[in-house]
Amino acid sequence: MFKRAAKLAVILAVALSVGLHWVLLQSVAWTGMFVTFAQQTTLREALTKTFDGKNPCRICKLIREGQQSEQEKASVLPLVKIESVPGATAFVLLPPVPAVALPELDQLGPQRAHSPPSPPPKAA
């Protein structure tokens, strides 16, 4: 239950940070405008009036104001210049480290004292 709520909260936060709430509100406004215009005129004229931008509804005006206020808030934030730490100006290439030789086989451990049984034992 908690995992589902956490996932939903993360999805909601991402959607709001990207601005999908404005898209949802604009879709609702366009749908309402289209329905209203379709009751008064033909479908082609209703579609044209809905998306031409000359006949915005009350919701469209509120959405535009909200988006502009968000952009103004975003533009007011100070820009932070990231400066690099002063360091060496030259880039030096070093030779590769020589490979380490592996020990001989007889130095790894004692050899097997006897050979495996022949024929191999049968599983029980």
Residue ranges of domains in the chain: 20-75
pLDDT, mean over the chain: 81
Task: Give the Cα separation of 63 and 28 in Å (integer).
Answer: 11
Res 31: pLDDT: 93
Span 20-66, pLDDT tens digits: 888 888 999 999 999 999 999 998 999 898 888 888 889 889 889 98
Residues 6+ apart with CB under 8 A from 54: none
Task: Give the Cα separation of 10 and 14 in Å (integer).
Answer: 6
DSSP string, 65-90: HHHHHHHHHHHHSPP----PPP--SS
At 11, is the secondary structure helix, strand, or coil? helix
